Structure 1
Amino acid sequence: MYLPHIVKLAIFAAHACFAANSTYFNPVLPGWHSDPSIVYVDGTFYAATSTFLVYPGIPIYTSPDLIHWKLTSHVWTRASQLPNAGRDVAIQQGGFFAPTLRHKDGVFYVINVYLGGPSLANGSLLGTIYNTTNIVNSSAWSDPVYFNSPSIDPDLFWDDDGKVYVHTAGIKQQEIDLTTGKVSNPISVWNGTGGSNPEGPHMYKKDGWYYLMIAEGGTELGHRETIARSRHVSGPFVSNPSNPLVTNSNTSEYFQTVGHADLVFDGKDWWGLALSTRSGPEWEIYPMGRETVLFPVSWEEGKWPVATQVRGIMDGWELPPYGPFVSGPGPFNNDPDVVDFAPGSSLPPQFVTWRYPEDDVFAISEDGHPNTLRIRPSRANLTGIPGSTTQPALTGQSGISFIGRRQVHTLFTYSVDLEFKPQDLDQEAGISVLLTQLNHIDLGIALSRNTSQSDHPSQLEIRLRTEGSGTPNGTVPSSLQTFALPESCNAGGDIRLEVTAINSTTYMLSVKPANNANEKVVIGYVSALVVSGGSGPFTGTLLGVYATCNGGKGSGNECSSSGGNAYFSRWRYQGAAEQYSFTEFLPSTYGM
């Protein structure tokens, strides 16, 4: 890994200096962390973000200082919480939309809408409310209370009289019973300032005023936050004359699409979390998708809040002190991965699958293969087999044999070692840079379809696949290139597959024998445009491993051919730097 010679490095002191100069860097939750929601409870900040189709769903992060975030739990971790979740959604961005995290009387609540499943009889969307008193334990999150939601992005607000309200995109208000899910008829309470797609509402009560903050302008370059207030919970609401509260629309800033924000008070100061993309106004290449940024907010008594514009380097008043973290199984968000799949261990909590997985797809140190992750191949590959409408399992909706983690650094190296002995043509295993099923980059080892080639003595070949069918206007063509397995990898040992972000726009994919790092062979370079926006503008890139028989013989989504199991070991992810402006990078050791 190296930093490009054109990069200007910013070398700053570690977190100990924050209290003195109040300087920090965005994003504070790098990588795919859409639609952040935040609360402050007993000296700790808790945040939740959207996950759409991936499992486990809706991560909860904790931080004492708003800068260092530790994965604490997931809300959706078992099929019983929402049967068929992820499998009954055909679109690539369905599933768990925009959670709101709130705390009341010792209980944490997450409310959200599940989109893309069966429609309710009255045309409403399926709203879900989860709760827990033990937020560090994923299994402690309840099964949902369902409610009929008129739209997406539900918010929870408790009034002083004990009534509880839900606000949804539109902007509509309903009373709700949190025990039964019964809701009142929705009423419209504010139309925003005229921007498209008024959504993402959050209500706050301060100094006798009800403040209603929403996102407008769509989630692209016109995204912005606006706010209104009223003396009564249901309005009428009067718009802030200084709206928008925060936006980077119509600017040349590196951070764009700022919006879908939530505000929190730490007992001393107000802060805001919002989503943003590191794309610049060209909004073309941003492989980590929508990330979470932090901005200070000044909110004097009886007055309107005033937010600081979002940039890569932020200055403000003193940040909360760095202190002890709430316990939990997960790593810090920007930690490296050093995973060796030791016998008796579990899958790391930062690992996610695309849709809910079928049983027994993943196993650690089984089948006489210690220190490996065994993946049983799916008949569906990462895209889904074309023309598979008569066999729904092959669309990938029944699960894809893929598991990964978020890309959370601009510059990084990710590698795994693969033991793979396919017996039938088209059995394939490898690594992927995946945005959705319609936008991904794969580096795989497969049993060649062309058994007559003399330059394939082992009949194994390397496949470099670019799937760009989900990009707008077909700007990134899909392709499949095949290469002979390098001679150095023909000795029968494990093969190391590697992807490196050599700059902010390009991935380099390579192979080498696992026991000889000096024999690396670069297979190709692929633009990060492939995994930017496209079919997944709400999401972000995952890095992981897969196995498939590419629609071969089998029943449902399970391959019946032998020899297709893939065994992965020595999983490594190491970040090198974060880009925070058009020309400046921050070394990944900053703040660690």
Structure 2
Amino acid sequence: MNVQNPIIRGTYPDPSICRRGRDYFLVNSSFDYFPGLPLFHSKNLVEWQQIGNCLTRDEQLDLKDVKSSLGIFAPTIRYINERFYIIFTNTNSGQNLLIQTADPFGDWSNPLPLEWGGIDPSLFADTDGKIYVQGTAERWGEEKGIYQAEIDLATGKLLSPRTLISKGTGHKSPEGPHLYRKDDWYYLMMAEGGTEFGHMETIFRSRCVNGPFESFEGNPFLTNRSTGSKLQCVGHADLVDSPTGDWFAVCLATRIKGSHNYYHFLGRETNIAPIEWTEEGWPIVRGLELLPDFPLFEGYTRAPESQTTYDFSTMTTFSDEWLHISNPLASNYQFCEAGLQLRGGCSLSEIGQPTFVGLRQDEFTYSFTAEIESMKDTTAEIGVSVYMSHAYHVDFFIQGEAIWVRKKIGSLESLEQVGTINQSLTCLKVSCDGQRYQFVHVSDEKESVLAEIETIFLSTEISGTFNGVIIGLYTWNKTVESTNYINKVQVKKICE
């Protein structure tokens, strides 16, 4: 059965993949969200289950005062000597870091700072036991390109000089490098062109681990630039082989909206493509939008429509898919018989630790409904936010006996009362059809649309961010602390 990309939907960018036996593990960037580094497991490369997040403790991940779309960049996961390693950049601290575990279903170590600059670090274990790190140029003082050195995984110290091994094909932003060994060749792969519509993946090879690397005549070997494809911005790939010797590339891509002016707001998502190797030993991509039949993929089907209900009165913690902006203040989130108890933090427009917990929007046709019990405190807001960044979000909330909508679009901000409530239990719904968001009050099973906004105003092309939309629950107290409850959240979506 044919498989349709993306395989992991919503804002799960910069995928990196490794294999242990018949088990595949994949990790993504998480930027300014906590917990960090979502981790997935699969047996067939198309059905993925999130098995946790790798950075779950404050001592592992400090995002305080982080700006939107900064934080955790471009991880690489590798299985080396019966241990799993993830190397990544935290732009908030300006460090490249390494975590490890023997059990990817369990906890990961605290990060080890590395003697390595730039962003997008990667690891390669050679057959002689030597370990190499690759990455981009440091921001200041180095020529653009991909750098490499031998590294000690126990100490994070370099064992050889930091050396420029490739400048790419000459396009902008050579980044996201990975090194592989196959048939006595070393293959260096990287992203070029920037992570926007000019994004592409290029590949090079050498008989020596330090080069010189020759460029594939077919570069870029993976891209959808200058095409009419509904998958755009394709790149930042990683390769993996199967136990049968087949090869695959995972990469990011965006699903775009708009027939003339392309834009996207779901974020950069994880996709997969089978790889063929030419007689000359170069990789060729087989399909991306609709994947060809492949034995590993057999029996896979994606449900066209799904619904999930989160009853907070029966929960004791957030499941792996829920996200906070920056490190959450744990005392502001309490589970009890009445549901999820929220206490207010800073405004969503401030850089800080707001009281917010949300889910990645992962389909164009999507609804998020929250059942709220308000204490009628006229100083407190409680409701649902469609959140792209500190500067781009729309808040649909209750304050006292009024229902409000705030639209924060860059330097433009509007605040409008759109309704009233006459009971403590209120149902607020955000509905998306791909072109617009509607903000709906649900009462006695009757729905009243109170406001709307076009999705383009929360797109990456307008906001200038790396993330996709997160829809979540928040509260904000202007003057005093108050308590409000979220009883249930229901999410519905249709797969396109």
Match of 2:308 in 1: 337
User: What is the CA distance between 1:66 and its match in structure 2?
Assistant: 1.6
Match of 1:104 in 2: 80
Q: Does 1:434 align with 2:387?
A: yes
Match of 2:140 in 1: none
Equivalents in 2 of 1:437, 1:143: separation in Å? Answer: 28
Question: Alignment partner for residue 417 of structure 2, among 477, 482, 492?
Answer: 482
Unaligned ranges ≥5, structure 2: 137-144
Contact 1:57/1:75 (8 A) holds in 2: yes
Query: Does the residue aligned with 1:383 lie in a helix, a strand or coil?
Result: coil
Give per-residue Cα distances to partners, 1:232-291, cap 9 Å, x unaligned.
000000000111110011111111100000111112311111111111685643221101
Match of 2:100 in 1: 131
Contact 1:217/1:224 (8 A) holds in 2: yes
User: What is the CA distance between 1:40 and its match in structure 2?
Assistant: 1.8
Match of 1:289 in 2: 267
User: What is the CA distance between 1:65 and its match in structure 2?
Assistant: 1.5
User: What is the CA distance between 1:405 and its match in structure 2?
Assistant: 0.9
Moved more, 143-152 or 292-301: 292-301
Contact 2:85/2:98 (8 A) holds in 1: yes
Task: Report the CA distance shift for 1:504/1:483 in structure 2 as closer, same or farther (over 3 A).
Answer: closer
Equivalents in 2 of 1:60, 1:443: separation in Å? Answer: 31
Match of 1:278 in 2: 255
Match of 1:541 in 2: 469
Task: Report the CA distance shift for 1:344/1:509 in structure 2 as closer, same or farther (over 3 A).
Answer: closer
Equivalents in 2 of 1:493, 1:57: separation in Å? Answer: 35
Counterpart residue identity of residue 506, structure 1: R
Match of 2:206 in 1: 230
Counterpart residue identity of residue 479, structure 1: S
Match of 1:181 in 2: 156
User: What is the CA distance between 1:506 and its match in structure 2?
Assistant: 0.9
Equivalents in 2 of 1:104, 1:45: separation in Å? Answer: 14
Query: Does the residue aligned with 1:478 lie in a helix, a strand or coil?
Result: strand
- Choose between structure 1 and 2: higher strand proportion: 2
User: What is the CA distance between 1:482 and its match in structure 2?
Assistant: 1.3
Q: Does 1:500 align with 2:431?
A: yes
Note the 1:307-326 alignment, pairs <5 A.
307-311=285-289, 313-320=290-297
Match of 1:348 in 2: 319
Counterpart residue identity of residue 204, structure 1: Y
Note the 1:23-422 alignment, pairs <5 A.
23-82=2-61, 85-89=62-66, 91-117=67-93, 125-137=94-106, 140-169=107-136, 170-183=145-158, 184-268=160-244, 269-279=246-256, 284-300=262-278, 303-311=281-289, 313-320=290-297, 336-343=307-314, 345-365=316-336, 370-378=337-345, 380-384=346-350, 396-397=351-352, 399-422=353-376
Contact 2:334/2:342 (8 A) holds in 1: yes
Query: Does the residue aligned with 1:342 lie in a helix, a strand or coil?
Result: helix
User: What is the CA distance between 1:105 and its match in structure 2?
Assistant: 2.2
Moved over 6 A (4+): none
User: What is the CA distance between 1:49 and its match in structure 2?
Assistant: 0.4
In the alignment of these two chains, the number of paired residues is 481
Equivalents in 2 of 1:321, 1:110: separation in Å? Answer: 30
Match of 1:517 in 2: 445
Equivalents in 2 of 1:134, 1:322: separation in Å? Answer: 28
Equivalents in 1 of 2:299, 2:169: separation in Å? Answer: 39
Task: Report the CA distance shift for 1:340/1:135 in structure 2 as closer, same or farther (over 3 A).
Answer: same
Tell which structure's C-alpha radius of gyration is larger: 1
Equivalents in 1 of 2:306, 2:125: separation in Å? Answer: 37
User: What is the CA distance between 1:372 and its match in structure 2?
Assistant: 0.6
Query: Does the residue aligned with 1:319 lie in a helix, a strand or coil?
Result: helix
TM-score, reference length from structure 2: 0.93
Task: Report the CA distance shift for 1:442/1:130 in structure 2 as closer, same or farther (over 3 A).
Answer: same
Equivalents in 1 of 2:341, 2:442: separation in Å? Answer: 21
Equivalents in 2 of 1:548, 1:185: separation in Å? Answer: 51
Counterpart residue identity of residue 493, structure 1: S
Query: What percent of counterpart residues are identical?
Result: 32
Equivalents in 2 of 1:51, 1:276: separation in Å? Answer: 16
Give per-residue Cα distances to partners, 1:302-357, cap 9 Å, x unaligned.
6101113532x22243334569xxxxxxxx9x964311123562222211101001
Match of 1:120 in 2: none
User: What is the CA distance between 1:413 and its match in structure 2?
Assistant: 1.6
Question: Alignment partner for residue 377 of structure 2, among 419, 423, 426?
Answer: 423
Equivalents in 1 of 2:331, 2:279: separation in Å? Answer: 57
Equivalents in 2 of 1:346, 1:335: separation in Å? Answer: 23
Q: What's the C-alpha RMSD, in Å, of the aligned pairs? A: 1.9
Contact 1:65/1:322 (8 A) holds in 2: no
Match of 1:444 in 2: 397
